[in-house]
A and B are shown apart, each in its own frame.
Chain A
Amino acid sequence: MDFVWDQRELILEGFWRTIQLAALAGGLSLVFGTLLAVMRVCPIPPLRWAGATYVTVVRNTPLTLVFIFSTFGLPRLEIRFSFFVFAVVALTVYTSSFVCEAVRSGINSVASGEIEAARAIGLPFRQTLSLVVLPQAFRAIVPLLSSVFIALTKNTSIAVAFSVTEATSILRRLQNQDASATFPLLIVTAAGYLVITLALSFAFSRLERRVAAAR
């Protein structure tokens, strides 16, 4: 246990990277996932097909493969970033498909009569979406998004295999230094993830209560 305490700075540094990965990929996924969902409900068929194809392909590909494509595939196309950026790309590509489906279910939950009413006062498609549909869709899917972002936080640990020094890779490194500390390290690392995900859950349940009052 002393060994774990001695290495606390390194461990915290690893978790800081984990948080950075999750926050960046989470924010970007929210944007791209929403765009995908809008594509999937828009009146232009090719955009609908593109959105549906993306979700079908990406959502059904193991995250590790997405990481391999990002980390080893992009450099072949002469696209070179740090491993951290490749990890953010992989996590965003993957998580966007889940955010898309969550947002789409939210869109489907908006009463069709309200959409007709929006069209009837002369709002074009874009404003109907941004003023009437999406604000209600997001309120409806707060619990769903909470699950998606918790899954994302844990998925960041895949980055360990792709040279990103996040929490799980620190765990591995320290384990190699002192094999007897394996078990305490495992517990500390698991507890670290728990702290992050519980904080997320807490934030989302507060958000859920706030928007419920406004529904």
Chain B
Amino acid sequence: MSDQLVALSKVNKHFGPLHVLKDIDLGVARGQVVVVLGPSGSGKSTLCRVINRLEPIDSGTITLDGRAVPAEGKALARYRADIGMVFQSFNLFSHKTALGNVALGPMKVRGRAKADAERTARELLDRVGLADKADAIPAQLSGGQQQRVAIARALAMEPKLLLFDEPTSALDPEMISDVLDVMIELAQSGMTMIVVTHEMGFARQAADQVVFMDEGEIVERGTPAEFFDHPTSTRAKDFLSKILAY
């Protein structure tokens, strides 16, 4: 892979006695969509969170565009501004409108003028299908709408990379497809994405690379076709037989 955007090398992370990430090596090329699968507790959310250092790591290196993740302070804040993150529980700022949520980062982190930031924010809300909800506060929006605002908020920073930490796990079934539609559109537009999810359909359709984790290790990786149709490890076979049973 010549045009590597993200590279993790020998990354280890413990929570107390629990070894949640074991010697993780992972490379993500520019424009690639990597879907991380695995049973709960396998370390896939932690993998997502260490990349923008919401969790510090114990050893190993993580680089974005060839630069190592800064440890603390202003440099870390600037680094995070280049990485969008979408959370399972949306985490919209509950005292701000949808528009306010999306425009906050560009105004306060990028220093853009209010009118300018709000114009872009409206375009992004339109892109996620919520142009008419600009003035709604999060409590007035459904889960699926909140998550789409959260995606617009991440996009407003013009990130080099988008991280999705189980973006549809807290949603009702009929809202999941609204969010997945937006994510598919993003993948097709060339956004580099790392997506932790249980949505196998999304993985099949959008992923360039599937990474299967179990007990803190990357057990298997490959294209969606390889992984879903010809899994090699017993753990992956087990996992797939369980989730595809119904």
Contacts and interface: CB of A to CB of B under 8 A. Distances in A.
Interface of A: 111, 113-114, 116-124, 127, 131-132, 135-136, 139, 214-215
Given A116-B54, A127-B108, A121 B91 contact: no
Contact of A118 (B82, B83, B93, B94): B93
B108 A123 contact: yes
Instruction: Give the size range of B's interface with the partner.
Output: 20 to 34
Which 5 residue pairs across A and B have the least CB separation, nearest first? Answer: A122-B81, A113-B91, A121-B105, A117-B91, A120-B85
Contact of B93 (A114, A124, A127): A114
A44 B154 CA distance: 29
Among B108, B150, B153, B154, find the residue whose CB has the most chain A CB atoms closer than 10 A: B108
Among A114, A120, A214, find the residue whose CB has the most chain B CB atoms closer than 10 A: A120
Interface stretch (B10-18, B24-32, B71-79, B198-206): B71-79
A123 B91 contact: no
B89 A113 contact: yes
A139 B139 CA distance: 15
A124 B76 CA distance: 8
A113 B109 CA distance: 19
A121 B96 CA distance: 15
B95 A214 contact: yes
B94 A136 contact: yes
Given A123-B77, A123-B108, A214 B93 contact: no
Contacts of A114: 91-94
Contacts of A214: 95, 137
A147 B118 CA distance: 39
Contacts of A121: 80-81, 84, 104-105, 109, 153-154, 157
B92 A122 contact: no
Contacts of A113: 87, 89-91
B91 A132 contact: no
B153 A124 contact: no
| Interface SS majority for chain A | helix
A139 B95 CA distance: 9
Contacts of B93: 114, 117-118, 132, 136
Given A127-B108, A131-B104, A131-B108, A120 B83 contact: yes
A122 B85 contact: no
A121 B83 CA distance: 8
Nearest to A214: B95
A116 B85 CA distance: 10
B45 interface: no
A136 B94 CA distance: 8
A116 B93 CA distance: 11
Contact of A122 (B80, B91, B139): B80
B104 A122 contact: no
B52 interface: yes
A8 to B, nearest CB: 46
Contacts of A139: 95
Contacts of B139: 215
Contacts of A122: 77-82, 105, 109, 157
A196 B239 CA distance: 68
Contacts of B157: 121-122
